[in-house]
A and B are shown apart, each in its own frame.
Chain A
């Protein structure tokens, strides 16, 4: 069974703090993704990576950065958290970018006060 894990289920941070969200997958997948999910807006892609040290901007990269130093790990970084970054963050991985299933982690509910 594919397993995608995320470092925290719930996180509360203050405005201006630097926030790290970690994602690990155990299936040797090439591609990893970070989404945020908000009511009425659905899932929106923040960043994705199709190889180690490679990254591509998604639809809403502003205010975020990512790091992929190892194949199994993809980190999302909020350099200076703001209240409008309060959201559910979902990590996913897939073998092929488009045609293969994306497997999601359980999500991190981030609240920025």
Chain B
């Protein structure tokens, strides 16, 4: 079983739609959670961090459920420019000051006119 699992999609939605992506992780010791965005043939870039209380950044809302080991990303009023692959990321720590990010394989979103 992969440590971070995502539905690869693709999700094809019309402009203006609301779309939600889910992600599950297997390591209950994971401490930090993120969504990264990767455009076609580009490098990943941080979209937002995910906090237990949930957080919102404009049209994007991220939620974390530690009990179920589940992370979500909601995009409202989808734009053509939202078309990308969304990577769910959790941390795995080695010591108090070192660790690494574990990436899901990504969920592809295509927003159509």
Contacts and interface: CB of A to CB of B under 8 A. Distances in A.
Contacts of A58: 100
A97 interface: yes
A33 interface: yes
Interface in B62-113: 87, 91, 93-94, 97-101, 103-106
A99 B32 contact: yes
B43 A107 contact: yes
Given A98-B31, A98-B93, A102-B101, A42 B43 contact: no
A98 B103 CA distance: 13
A88 B94 CA distance: 26
Contacts of A105: 43
A98 B105 CA distance: 19
A45 B37 CA distance: 18
A69 to B, nearest CB: 20
Interface of B: 8, 31-32, 42-46, 87, 91, 93-94, 97-101, 103-106
25 contacts: A40-B105, A41-B105, A42-B87, A42-B104, A42-B105, A42-B106, A43-B44, A43-B103, A44-B103, A45-B100, A45-B101, A56-B98, A96-B97, A97-B98, A97-B99, A98-B32, A98-B93, A98-B99, A98-B100, A98-B101, A99-B91, A101-B46, A102-B46, A106-B42, A107-B43
